[in-house]
A = this chain, B = another copy of it.
Amino acid sequence: MKKIRYGMVGGGQGAFIGAVHRHAMALDAMYAFTAGALSSEPARAQASGRELGLEDSRNYPSWEAMLEGELKLPESERIQMVSIVTPNHVHHPVAKAFAAAGFHVVCDKPLVLNMEQAQDLLETVKKSGVVFGVTHNYTGYPMVRHAREMVRTGTLGEIRKVVVEYCQGWLATKLEDTDHKQAAWRSDPARSGIVGAVGDIGTHADNLLHAVTGLEIEALCADLTSFVPGRVLDDDANMLLRFKGGAKGVLHCSQIQTGSENDLRLRVHGSLGSISWRQEEPNALEFLPLEGPRQILTRGSAYLCAAAQKASRLPSGHPEAFIEAFANVYVGVAESINARLENRALKPLEGDFPTLEDGVRGVRFIEKTVESAKSAQKWTTF
């Protein structure tokens, strides 16, 4: 199988998530890193590209240059996909420009800064018909896919309650005042948008609960706080959720829970059983049936659903983790791109990745959260 040629926007020296995307794409040898505009600063962009072995001619000083340069190349050499791993405010212009020009797109989350941008992007992509993935990477974990299957097949019965939490502690001090690139842009409204923690991790929590349960939020009541003195955006958020159909939920996320690392946890409670999953121990999924003992399902086991099996590379007990889950998102995107290239429909289980619509849902979630929090924490309907 031929590798898909990709270009990357963002992800140069000092970035964290860009390297993760590259590891994820390298893992299964489905992608070739071909071009890049790796920083908004031209010099840093090109130094980064050299370090990573990009050819000079494909190592662009800016994303605009990359777009222009690649379009000049014959289709057989041109990159086929662009991976956007910049701070949030850059997502919309880059995604729009490349999608409009016919490039497939993978964009980090939160998708864009507001619903206006989201609608605009939806229309652009609808017109151009490109494949568009959003790296809500946590849904790439095999056990999350099995959790989704347990809900879909009714193993849990009617879903009544969902508790999702995303606990981090790395912003418990004013890290943005030090020379910390990640902290700096995330706490800057000009680059992060109208939210801090809610956009950075709350949207992951929202996406995870939706991906697993399929539930749609009907209304929410949110309380946002900026605990660290001098911080403008929220570093903590607590929410009550009401879903269409009557289920209820709690979502809380924070970046000031001292000592927490990346503790994303989902619990889904149905009339026949519950499940519990923690991102920090991703190879296990706890299943608590109405009767009988609690069960620990493990990745790589023969009893898992086909989607979970497909998303695994190793036998049980040989743990897989963050990069492998991230790679699964890219596998789904690659399958979709390859189906286009081969002019065929997706095969069963192919193309399993978070879509543009998932990204848009996240933007709406952000706006509704802020609307609720600003209006003296009234319930806000969707």
Contacts and interface: CB of A to CB of B under 8 A. Distances in A.
Contacts of A339: none
A65 interface: no
A35 to B, nearest CB: 15
Name the residue in A33, A254, A259 with the highest tally of chain B Cβ atoms < 10 Å from its Cβ. Answer: A259
Interface in A227-267: 227, 236, 238-240, 242, 248-250, 252, 254, 256-263, 267
Contacts of A172: 271, 290
A290 B173 contact: yes
Interface string A48-84: 0000110000000000000000000000000000000
A239 B249 CA distance: 10
A282 B169 CA distance: 21
A28 to B, nearest CB: 7
B221 A248 contact: no
Interface stretch (A95-103, A120-128, A293-301, A350-358): A293-301
Contact of A257 (B274, B287, B313): B274
A213 interface: no
Nearest to A293: B295
Interface residues of A, number: 91
Interface stretch (A5-13, A39-47, A315-323, A359-367): A315-323
Interface stretch (A188-196, A328-336, A372-380): A372-380
B19 A313 contact: yes
A107 B353 CA distance: 36
Contact of A161 (B256, B291, B303, B313): B256
A272 B283 CA distance: 24
A236 to B, nearest CB: 6
Nearest to A257: B269
Given A33-B29, A294-B298, A324-B321, A377 B221 contact: yes
A115 interface: no
B320 A323 contact: yes
Contacts of A252: 163, 250
Nearest to A225: B248
Nearest to A313: B23
A269 B262 contact: no
22 contacts: A19-B313, A20-B314, A23-B27, A160-B227, A160-B236, A161-B236, A161-B257, A172-B271, A221-B223, A223-B240, A223-B242, A254-B269, A258-B273, A258-B288, A259-B294, A262-B315, A262-B318, A279-B317, A292-B303, A293-B295, A293-B303, A318-B321
Q: Please give me the 10 A-B residue pairs with the lowest Cβ-Cβ distance, nearest first.
A: A259-B288, A261-B317, A262-B317, A319-B321, A321-B321, A293-B295, A294-B296, A318-B322, A261-B316, A258-B274
